[in-house]
């Protein structure tokens, strides 16, 4: 496979490191010409994960999105969800014909309240059979440090998903297969919202006991939304180990891509959503918290998108609803969490 990457933030950089460590030469889009010049001179991304060093012979860097797509057969999209439309909207409708797309986005496109696969279908006629997604739990910083991490690859075409996953597997990266393409993407969106909530709780000086109850209830709320949406019926504790080197998860919400990703995003100091929420809990305005951070907290836009989506689904989501009101309707964080306290079981 010939891989191209759209997006040069921390997660795009981490995925580029995995691929190049595994011997791949990649085409890589960066919107900033000066960043590319720095990269070419110094061998590392000047803004994100600067400790991750690259062999420049393995990188074809460009500011031309169309070039990356043209020269690749598998395109990894690792652009923050809020900016995907800006990058892709100017492309010809047949740009992705004959290509595979691997989404590394953990958010909903806020302009349309759509997952990336639905946006691509509506705007490019892109078939879901050629669409795959890579999910955590996995922090870019730990990948850069080569700490053992796990990635889940999901797609309808299981054979191709396994081939794609094989290109990412190495000594510090384990890969897992999954067929729940909508469920894992919505879970990745929701866990960012709940991580903002965990950060707010920390900023409001709640303790670990409360936080554990908050996260447990968030996990149940997330699974309830997925069931209500008709995406999947949850199975607990069932994992197929039949294929050596790969584990296949059959919609097990105690597994890493669901509960594991929620836990690490809520607890880790690397979590930008937790950091963003912590600022809100300490009294920052949303705008001030955004200006303070150098990276996008996907949970902010996601809270509004999921509130709108759930108006159609009708799942009980008291935690996510209060977080939406805190972030978008200026509900005081302390008042909101008083309401959350009463809803926890």
What proportion of the chain, given as a percentage, has pLDDT over 70?
93
What proportion of the chain, given as a percentage, has pLDDT over 90?
76
Average pLDDT of the segment spanning 151-176: 95
Average pLDDT of the segment spanning 190-209: 97
Maximum CA extent, the chain: 58
* pLDDT at residue 322 tops 80: yes
The answer to the question of residue 241 being in a domain is no
What does the pLDDT read at residue 237? Answer: 44
Average pLDDT of the segment spanning 71-96: 95
The answer to the question of residue 244 being in a domain is no
CATH code of the domain covering residue 320: 1.10.1040.10
Higher pLDDT, 107 or 278: 278
**pTM value?**
0.91
The answer to the question of residue 307 being in a domain is yes
Domain count, the chain: 2
pLDDT band of residue 278 (cuts 50, 70, 90) is: very high
* pLDDT at residue 254 tops 70: no
29 and 91 inside one domain: yes
The answer to the question of residue 339 being in a domain is yes
Joined tokens for residue 321: 């609803």
Q: Considering 162, 179, 196, which residue would you say is the last residue of a domain?
A: 179
Averaged confidence pLDDT in the chain: 91
29 and 144 inside one domain: yes
* pLDDT at residue 292 tops 60: yes
Q: Measured between alpha carbons, how far is residue 64 from residues 9, 60, 88, 288 in Å?
A: 16, 11, 11, 33
201 and 336 inside one domain: yes
What does the pLDDT read at residue 251? Answer: 57
- Domain with 257, as residue range(s), is 183-233+251-343
Burial grade of 76 (CB within 10 A; 0-12, 13-18, 19 or more): buried
What does the pLDDT read at residue 139? Answer: 87
pLDDT single digits (tens) 131-143: 999 998 888 999 9
CATH code of the domain covering residue 44: 3.40.50.720
* pLDDT at residue 241 tops 90: no
Q: What phi and psi, each to the nearest 5 degrees, are found at residue 222?
A: -60, -50
Q: Considering 151, 179, 207, which residue would you say is the last residue of a domain?
A: 179
Average pLDDT of the segment spanning 31-47: 90
Provide DSSP, 37-70.
HHHHHHSS-SSS-TT----GGGEEEES-HHHHHH
pLDDT band of residue 238 (cuts 50, 70, 90) is: very low
* pLDDT at residue 244 tops 80: no
What does the pLDDT read at residue 236? Answer: 44
What does the pLDDT read at residue 206? Answer: 97
* pLDDT at residue 331 tops 70: yes
């Amino acid at each position: 496979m010939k891989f191209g990457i759209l997006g040069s933030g921390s997660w795009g950089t981490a995925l580029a490191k995995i691929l190049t460590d595994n011997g791949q030469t990649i085409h890589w889009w960066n919107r900033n010409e000066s960043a590319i010049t720095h990269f070419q001179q110094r061998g590392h991304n000047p803004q994100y994960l600067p400790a991750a060093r690259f062999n420049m012979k393995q990188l074809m860097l460009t500011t031309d999105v169309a070039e990356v797509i043209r020269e690749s057969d598998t395109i990894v999209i690792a652009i923050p969800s809020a900016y995907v439309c800006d990058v892709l909207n100017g492309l010809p409708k047949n740009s992705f014909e004959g290509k595979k797309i691997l989404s590394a986005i953990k958010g909903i496109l806020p302009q349309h309240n759509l997952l990336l696969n639905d946006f691509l279908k509506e705007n490019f006629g892109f078939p879901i059979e050629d669409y795959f997604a890579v999910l955590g739990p996995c922090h870019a910083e730990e990948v850069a440090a080569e700490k053992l991490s796990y990635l889940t690859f999901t797609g309808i075409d299981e054979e191709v998903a396994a081939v794609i996953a094989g290109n990412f597997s190495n000594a510090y990266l384990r890969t897992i297969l999954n067929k729940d393409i909508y469920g894992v993407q919505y879970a990745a969106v929701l866990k960012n919202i709940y991580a903002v909530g965990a950060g707010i709780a920390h900023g409001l000086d709640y303790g670990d006991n409360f936080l554990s109850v908050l996260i447990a209830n968030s996990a149940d709320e997330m699974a309830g939304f997925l069931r209500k949406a008709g995406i999947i019926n949850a199975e607990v504790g069932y994992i197929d180990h039949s294929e050596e080197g790969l584990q296949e998860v059959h919609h097990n919400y105690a597994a890493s891509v669901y509960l594991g990703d929620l836990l690490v995003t809520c607890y880790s100091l690397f979590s930008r959503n937790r950091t963003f929420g912590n600022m809100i809990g300490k009294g920052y305005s949303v705008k001030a918290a955004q200006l303070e951070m150098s990276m996008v907290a996907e949970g902010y836009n996601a809270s509004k998108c999921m509130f709108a989506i759930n108006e159609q689904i009708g799942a009980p989501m008291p935690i996510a609803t209060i977080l939406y009101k805190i972030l978008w309707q200026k509900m005081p964080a302390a008042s909101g969490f008083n309401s959350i306290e009463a809803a926890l079981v």
